[in-house]
Amino acid sequence: MQVNITETVLRDANQSLIATRMPFSDFEGILETINRAGYYSVECWGGATFDSCLRYLNEDPWKRLRLLKEKLKSSRLQMLLRGQNILGYKHYPDDVVRLFVDHAVENGMDIFRIFDALNDFRNIQVAVDETIKRGAHAQGVICYTTSPIHTLEKYAKLGRDLENMGVHSICIKDMAGIMGPQEAYELVKALKESVKLPVFLHTHSTTGLGPITYIKAVEAGCDGIDTAISSFSGGTSQPSTETLHYALRQMGYETGLDVKVLKEINDFFKPLKEQYIESGLMDPFVMGTDTDALNYQVPGGMLSNLIAQLKAQNSMDRLDEVLQETPRVRKDLGYPPLVTPMSQMVGVQAASNVLAGERYKNVSKEVKAYLRGEYGQAPGEIDSELQKKVLGNEKPITQRFADTLEPEFQKIKEKLKGVAQSDEDVLSYILFPQIAEKFFNERQESTALKVSYKIMKV
């Protein structure tokens, strides 16, 4: 049996260990080697990479995608798409979702892993439909979490719902690395018995369970797993690619990977890792095993961002308190899975509760929007006192929030005449207006400087 391996070093490993601060120039030199490794797919875009390119790296994320496609010619490129949230932190109108998928396909994307933070599949329907229409691979996601309300039967039903929606495959997304081996075995088995689609599993090494969980998932019939090249594996990242390849081969499975090429890839990333550690970009905290995560359920990317947030406020000594407050906030909000944007919302609120010295003294606008129903149906009951404190007598909405949004792409395109150089620029602006505008201005200044320099040389 073949077990498909997805390499995450260019996206989730990077996001989990160094908060997505790896510039294209740092890994450009190894892309053609990655292309020869035999991966099922290379996860290299989406998630926080889009935001990070514009905000921190002064890169055009669309150009990055095109360059990735040039170098990874025969590899399937894979991205993480937040359904109606696209790559931002709120819901966008349907026209924007469809156009984003269209342009992602045009620029080289092959596999769209599409999720909704609340497993409210009304919020992924449009993205799935457009992905299928464009001839790309639509992978529907079940965000995994544990709580009194999340059961095997409910997860199996979610799998059937995804199959009925027409997705090509299903991914179980264990953002916080909290899935144990027996849970993985039972869940994969339940899904394989409920649907006829390939089932993939994504987890993290945060709690140390990752490799054992993957092995048991494969024994239950899991078709593919996500791993990171060993120098960027472990901790809040994924289990090691080479380790899983070695173990699976011993067990009689094929992965299609070339060990010699894997070594070349790892040798390339080793010095990069040392460089990130020396600069302080990679915090030792995210590289360890933290079994407390089995309680607070904080995913890797959220943990690295939470640490950065507390450092910025000189409050790293309050990290344990924030992590203890996180599951309490999560319960109050009806047990949402901690994945973007819910992980950020719950984490920021937990930090606010701790630093303010009073719970819900300050409630973020995102949490207010969630309580109004703008993000979809909460998995469980929301704390009634919190809801009343925030909403007063206002009734939460029950319809799909995107149905209340007017199309906006053409309107924004008109507004950006003379500023946006392409439809991709317009999409970048819609997702991150202030950050994109700053990027456009700096790009224009840089172009003007280059022109001026050429004239001077002449």
For residue range 110-153, list pLDDT tens digits in order: 999 999 999 999 999 999 999 999 999 999 999 999 889 999 99
DSSP 146: -
For residue range 52-97, list pLDDT tens digits in order: 999 999 999 999 999 999 999 999 999 999 999 999 988 999 999 9
Q: Per DSSP, what are the bridge partners of residue 81?
A: 114
Instruction: Calculate helix-pair angle for 423-431, 94-106, nearest 10 degrees.
Output: 130
Span 8-24, average pLDDT: 96
Half-sphere exposure of 224 (CA within 13 A, CB side): 21
For residue range 41-63, list pLDDT tens digits in order: 999 999 999 999 999 999 999 99
Q: Give the separation between CA 118 and CA 89, rounded to whole angstroms.
A: 13
Classify 404 as helix, strand or coil. Answer: helix
Q: Per DSSP, what are the bridge partners of residue 77?
A: 42
Q: Give the separation between CA 24 and CA 427, rounded to whole angstroms.
A: 21
Q: Structure tokens of 287?
A: 């590289």
CA torsion 135-142-127-395 (nearest 10°) is 170
Question: Is the whole model's pTM more than 0.85, yes or no?
Answer: yes
Confidence band for 283, pLDDT divided at 50, 70 and 90: confident
Alpha-carbon torsion (211, 212, 214, 215), positive or negative? positive
User: DSSP H helical segments within 299-338, as ranges?
Assistant: 300-312, 319-332
Confidence band for 291, pLDDT divided at 50, 70 and 90: confident
From residue 387, give the alpha-carbon distance in Å to each of 51, 338, 354, 441: 31, 20, 20, 41
CB 228 within 8 A of CB 7: yes
Q: By percentage, how much of the chain surpasses pLDDT 90?
A: 85
Residue-range domains of the chain with CATH: 4-279 (3.20.20.70), 286-402 (1.10.472.90), 408-457 (no CATH)
CB 38 within 8 A of CB 74: no
